[in-house]
Chain A
């Protein structure tokens, strides 16, 4: 397999256990006096962005921080529920850095880079220490030590949590650190800003163009380096568990300026979400994976069984995860649980009004632990479920179904988290780096904070020390050109004064196509049809979409219109990538490639590579580059959770 010259992963030499230590020992440093002379733009204030911005500012850099929300604390990370992994082995159940590394590589179906994953497992332990010191109120045992729970794809208990609001608490910790630096004057905070383009000078990332979402002004910001922490692209599917402002715009516009986009087809469909109820729905709600610690998943053995769950006796229930995967039971990884649920529903065993749902039952847990204990563990999730569905999960099983949740794909980065545009670093869900073809639960929070607190602060120093960049101002001519293009694209969206179809309707249609053909199960013809449909819809969108209001004011419709335009372009690339990958791995399931018992069948000989796409122009075919994946510390073998 040929390696593309564009994709030098810059993995340090030496054994995997020592790479990061050696890197840190050898990396060039920026002196304290020189740090003050460097400005770094950090876009996004989720776990990745807030932790990076705070840490860089503490080190002495000038930081400019941006987010879409009215406050950095509201970044989408705040919604994470279940927990964060770390190889602390506080439970003395055999956990270690090596085991977390191993679980993550296997969970990702051998499609992630070993060196990055090992480093992630290594710094995971520091994250918990840092968060505890910040006053994050993690769950505790009676003796005062930190409590843990289990998550999918692991046989140890290594997940730290704060009720069902772990993301919120970690977010508030990182936000506090960020606001402390704002108070010190080392971070300048720009909320309600949307990055619409990146500015390159001599081929290096030196600034961004933003739209001020309060007054619509187009603004310029210059720096020595740019760090993108703008999250994932699940909202391309329209209905997903993500917040409604989640988008791919910043990443996509960088892609169009030269940053390669890796593995766009690796999307995670989360098994336990509240099923769709109507056409007017704007998002789907996740029921945390932690529920699978105590909840049992089942469907009626009989097809199209209309009885109420309480009327179905034990021996007429199929606990299909426990049956098919006895070793991991209800705690198999997400891709496997989702596909298994889809399969039983496709076969006619699904429940609820649409037949597309399975039960997640706490009856046994309540019997075993008592209602109070269950309430203590999952109270807020049960309340949320009750509010949305009007059903009380203490009395009747939850009904759940898979939904788009997380995107493993993202901008390609090397070991230093730098994209193919020098100076543009990408952190958190926005990059492709650590989860391969499937992410394990409680690993995204870990990765975001690892990248922001512990990895980037070292690697960006090495970049800046090596480059010795001079200062530039926003009056540099490169800003004129990019700003002009941004203004034109905003104006193009506003040119029609009337239209039949709304932005939401277009987005919903795009989402349907992606869900049907680039969702949980994919095949050749479906993907080719999807590409054709997406192109047609995209053309129609640009001809017919109506965006009310003006550019120079607060205008939510205009914001959405720009994001949906980018989703159309991304969607095509997702389908192309899925078409190209003639194997099944993790969340990418090609119907043509499965084992006899219906599991994903990888093709390591031909597809053990990262597929990174180069943008070639509006109507040009994108070009695929390959970074071969080398496994020196893990034996490449078919994943089994049986």
Chain B
């Protein structure tokens, strides 16, 4: 039985940051349902390359949903139709033969396009640099068990810490806000004793940098939570707001 799919793809092609881009149609056959979405694109690229054409550029690395490198808007949804799933984890069994699938980059002012589906998410690093850590030098740490942390807090901190920094939240937000990303880090450290000394300062600095990078405000649409491949809760944004306000009035 041949269960291979034939698909019509519409892919965003743009040869450089300053060049105009457009959606280009491709037809691809021989796609097996076990393939991941990115393996389907590899397959297309092999075809293109054999024909002497330029492959579609996209980012990926771990291909198992943890590094946050991949990220495509598939049929209008960041990371595609499955919830709590990155682009690289998405399998082609989510599609039917004959489907038309549009593939676009994560678009936002804060994420300029580099080429085709590749964007520059350097803004995220610059936000973290402003305070997404505990300021402790190597060698200056007390024993790991010196400060007990309740299992409940550790688990909640871990929920926040599982953010992979992919930027889907920004791509999905009508305001292109980075609030879910920033709040995940702020909340992780706010929930742990180690994060307390710098707590307010951290929220202030990171939020200021987020604004500077051109990300919009959060107006509680909740689209970010819906597309987040790690299902990070929008409730973290409330923690961030509280810490930010406290710091801002001081």
Which residues of A does B touch, CB under 8 Å? 51, 54-55, 58, 69-74, 76, 78-79, 88, 90, 126, 128-135, 137-146, 162-163, 165, 167-169, 172-173, 175-177, 179-180, 182-183, 189, 191, 214, 243-245, 277-278, 280-283, 285-286, 383-384, 387-388, 390, 453-454, 457, 497-498, 500, 502-505, 546, 548-549, 553-557
Contacts and interface: CB of A to CB of B under 8 A. Distances in A.
Contact of A135 (B64, B89, B192): B192
Contacts of A189: 125
A555 B42 CA distance: 14
Interface string B131-163: 011111111111111011111001101100110
B39 interface: yes
A90 B145 contact: yes
Given A133-B134, A182-B129, A556-B57, A546 B49 contact: yes
25 contacts: A51-B138, A58-B137, A71-B165, A74-B67, A74-B165, A88-B144, A132-B147, A132-B194, A134-B133, A135-B133, A139-B158, A141-B151, A165-B66, A167-B66, A168-B66, A176-B134, A179-B125, A183-B130, A387-B89, A504-B46, A548-B49, A548-B52, A548-B55, A557-B45, A557-B49
Given A169-B161, A502-B49, A554-B57, A177 B148 contact: no
Nearest to B50: A502
A172 B134 CA distance: 11
A134 B69 contact: no
Contacts of A285: 64
Interface residues on B, range: 35 or more
Contacts of A245: 61
Q: Is the interface of B mostly helix, strand, loop or mixed?
A: loop
Given A137-B158, A179-B133, 10 more contacts: A55-B138, A69-B67, A76-B67, A79-B64, A129-B142, A131-B144, A134-B133, A138-B144, A140-B151, A390-B93
A282 B194 contact: no
Interface of B: 15-16, 32, 34-36, 38-39, 42-43, 45-46, 48-50, 52-55, 57, 59-69, 82, 84-85, 89, 91, 93, 114-115, 118, 120-122, 124-125, 128-130, 132-145, 147-151, 154-155, 157-158, 161-162, 164-165, 188-189, 192, 194-195
B128 A175 contact: yes
A504 B53 CA distance: 16
A143 B64 contact: no
B134 A73 contact: no
A548 B49 CA distance: 6
Given A139-B154, A140-B151, A179-B133, A76 B138 contact: no
A145 B133 contact: no
A546 B151 CA distance: 55
Given A135-B195, A214-B114, A554-B114, A74 B69 contact: yes
Contacts of A140: 149-151, 154-155
Contacts of B85: 387
Contacts of A172: 161
Contacts of B36: 282
A297 B62 CA distance: 27
A484 B124 CA distance: 35
Contacts of B132: 176, 179
Contacts of A453: 138-139
Given A453-B138, A554-B114, A135 B63 contact: no
B34 A145 contact: no
Given A137-B157, A214-B114, A71 B151 contact: no
Contact of B138 (A58, A71, A549): A58
B63 A282 contact: yes
B162 A554 contact: no
Contacts of A134: 133-134, 136, 194
Nearest to A546: B49
Nearest to B145: A145
Contacts of A173: 133
Contact of A78 (B45, B52, B66, B158): B66
